[in-house]
Amino acid sequence: MQYEAVVIGVSAGGLRALSEILNGLPENYPLPLIVIQHRSKEERTLLEEVLQAKCAISIKQADEKETIKGGTVYFAPPDYHLLVERDHSFSLTCDEPVNFSRPSIDLLFETASEVYKDKLVGVILTGANSDGAAGIQAIQQRGGLTIAQDPETSHFPDMPRAAIDTGSVQHILTAPAIKYFLLDLAKKTV
Amino acid sequence: MNNSPATDNEELRELLESIRFVYGYDFTDYAEASIRRRVRHFMSANNFSSIRALNKTLLEEEVVLEQFIQETTVNVTEMFRDPSFYKSLQENVFQRLATYPFIKIWIAGSSTGEEVYSVAIFLQERGLLERSVIYATDINQKALQTAKEGIYHLKKMKSYTSNYMKAGGQRSFSDYYVSQYDAALLDRSLRQNIVFSAHNLAADKSFNEFQLICCRNVLIYFNQQLQNKVIDLFYESLCPFGFLALGNKESLLFAESRKNFEEVDRKERIFIKTG
């Protein structure tokens, strides 16, 4: 198996980009997708519900100690950092925000890349900050695959641009192209 | 990337084992990804080139160990964090607490004290603070000191005021503090019935019996085994029909003693000891 997990970091403008990508994935998509979407801490589960209504693949908020499985999209709960443990389970923390963000994309990407190493795919989508740039570097340095949404077609270009500026992004794609890329990846994976 | 991850993990384990052996602080059952990150953070902030070097210094210099504990165990918190939780606490728990002549509450992992004062304020608004004692405990001495002082950044008061109102506060939040320069000093009378004390959930035992234990966003830092141990400790420390309040992503789902608790508010993670 070539890849074992996909991590996605997304901020402002995320709902649209995420629906464009996730609604094309089948229920039995073999890889787990782990998503950090920056959002208000008051909003508890609305995003998951809105996306689930449009998508075949199952979407849920990650629980602490939950074992990571394929065919599932996991979202970080608002106001917690989401980390990947060596036994392929999640942990949550209330540590200080990183890049003014909790959850932080960098933190998920860094811990996931330590566990999945070269079997990890990292994706940075639309956003108005630079969280995830260090995380993308970490994934690339451990031999993983890195993708950024094309800033030209991103609702907010700053975040994908910051990732691209690190020199660690291998593929720059539109949201629909990212969907097809992930679908192809799965074919190679099975 | 200096070391291979495998060596890194072994060295981390060794470090945590030796801290436990020499000083009694037990981090060996902490969730690993987070403790590893905190150790790395401490290393880069204090110019340690390897875990081995850090290990050696920690064992030789207790001052550095104290600093290590302070920097690796601070839990970031706020007043009335999750306002809906405090609303439920008042509606579902305080009403029952009011039937006791003397109320004992344990806030475990009280960190820098924001949650302790939040509970104290709502007890006071219900006329219960005078006959309550709140035990606020934490492993981190420096955080306890901050908690005792009850002085926070003035700029945080805006969001605390908004949280307070959403949580069902009955007064003007500004009644609870005086501001000086950029600091807000919480009303001293809130502190009268609070006992601040060091307690290590991973190693220490039950020390009293309580009608309410709040331990929010602490268990997420522990592995399954330690979580179970701590929940057992809470079980032993609660009176019959005592309440246990956890953080909103924490549950008793995997706890062996879960059958001894019933849910009072599923969403806000408030439980009652029934068994």
The answer to whether position B138 is within a domain reads yes
Least confident interval from A113-127, B31-45, B65-79, B232-246? B65-79
Asked if residue B66 and residue B104 are part of one domain, the reply reads: no
- pLDDT tens digits for B114-130? 999 999 999 999 999 99
Are B50 and B90 in a shared domain?
A: no
Tell me if A91 and B220 make a contact (CB, 8 A cut-off): yes
Report the distance separating Cα B73 and Cα B149, nearest Å. Answer: 19
Report pLDDT for B255.
79
For an interface test with B, the pick among A61, A65, A106 (most B C-beta atoms closer than 10 Å) comes out as A65
User: pLDDT tens digits, residue range A84-106?
Assistant: 999 999 999 999 899 899 999 99
* Residue (of B132, B102, B101) closest to B116 by Cα position: B132
Q: How confident is the model at residue B275 (pLDDT cuts 50, 70, 90)?
A: confident
The answer to whether A178 touches A149, Cβ cutoff 8 Å, is yes
Query: Rounded to a whole number, what is the distance in Å from the CA of B83 to chain A's nearest CA?
Result: 9
Does pLDDT of B5 surpass 60? Answer: no
With an 8 Å Cβ cutoff, are B31 and A96 in contact? Answer: no
pLDDT at A1: 56
The full 3-state SS of chain A, as one line of letters, equals CCCCEEEEEECCCHHHHHHHHHCCCCCCCCCCEEEEECCCCCCCCHHHHHHHHHCCCEEEECCCCCECCCCEEEECCCCCEEEECCCCEEEEECCCCECCECCCHHHHHHHHHHHHHHHEEEEECCCCCCCCHHHHHHHHHCCCEEEEECHHHCCCCHHHHHHHHCCCCCEEECHHHHHHHHHHHHHHHC
* Whether residues B67 and B103 fall in one domain: no
Whether B147 shows a pLDDT value over 50: the answer reads: yes
Token pair for residue A81? 């950092």
Residue B264 pLDDT greater than 70, yes or no: yes
Q: For residue B266, is it within any domain?
A: yes
For residue B122, the domain's CATH number is: 3.40.50.150
Rounded to whole angstroms, how far apart are CA atoms B112 and B145? 8
* Distance (Å, whole) CA B266 – CA A175: 38
The structural domain count of chain A equals 1
Please name the member of B31, B38, B249 whose beta carbon is closest to the beta carbon of A63: B249
Question: Which residue is closest to A78 within chain B, CA to CA?
Answer: B249
- Residues B224 and B153 occupy one common structural domain: yes
Give the pLDDT of residue B74: 75
- Token pair of A186 as six digits: 């799965």
Boundary-marking domain end, from B72, B93, B128: B72
| pTM for the structure as a whole | 0.93
Q: Does B77 map to a domain? A: no
- The first and second tokens of residue B238, run together, are 């609660």
CA–CA separation, B206 and B194 (whole Å): 18
- Residue by residue, DSSP assigns B160-210 as HHHHHHHTT--S-GGGGEEEETTEEEEPGGGGTTEEEEE--TTT----S-E
pLDDT, tens digit, 9 for 90 and up, residues B70-116: 888 877 889 999 999 999 999 999 999 999 999 999 999 999 999 99
Structural domain containing residue B269: 83-273
Residue of chain A nearest B36, judged by CA positions: A111
pLDDT tens across A28-85, in order? 999 999 999 999 887 777 899 999 999 999 999 999 999 999 999 999 999 999 999 9
B88 and B207 assigned to the same domain: yes
B162 and B198 both lie in a single domain: yes
CB atoms within 10 A of CB B80: 28
Tens digits of residue pLDDT in A7-36:
999 999 999 999 999 999 999 999 999 999
Interface test with A, best of B9, B29, B39, B76 (most A CBs within 10 A): B76
Cα separation of B143 and B273, whole Å?
30
pLDDT of A190 higher than 80 = no
Residue A65 is part of which domain span?
Answer: 5-189
Last residue of a domain, one of B19, B41, B72: B72
Residue B174 resides in a domain: yes
Would you call B241 an interface residue with chain A, using a CB distance cutoff of 8 Å?
A: no
Q: What's the ipTM?
A: 0.90
Q: B38 and B112 in one domain?
A: no
Q: Out of B72, B101, B119, pick the residue that ends a domain.
A: B72
Domain count, chain B: 2
Instruction: Tell me which residue of A110, A93, A68 sits closest to B34, measured CA to CA.
Output: A93
- Give CA–CA dist A98/A35, Å, rounded: 16
Integer-rounded Cα Rg, in Å, for chain B is: 20
Radius of gyration for the alpha carbons in chain A, expressed in angstroms and rounded: 14
User: For position A117, which CATH number holds?
Assistant: 3.40.50.180
**C-alpha distances in Å from residue B33, one per residue of A93, A168, A179, B16, B267:** 10, 24, 30, 14, 27
pLDDT of residue A78: 94
Strand partners, A72: A58
Sheet containing strand B238-246, strands side by side: B194-198, B132-138, B103-108, B210-215, B238-246, B270-273, B261-265
Contact yes or no for A94 and B37 at CB 8 A: no
Place of tokens 């629909």: A176
Residues B68 and B88 in one domain: no
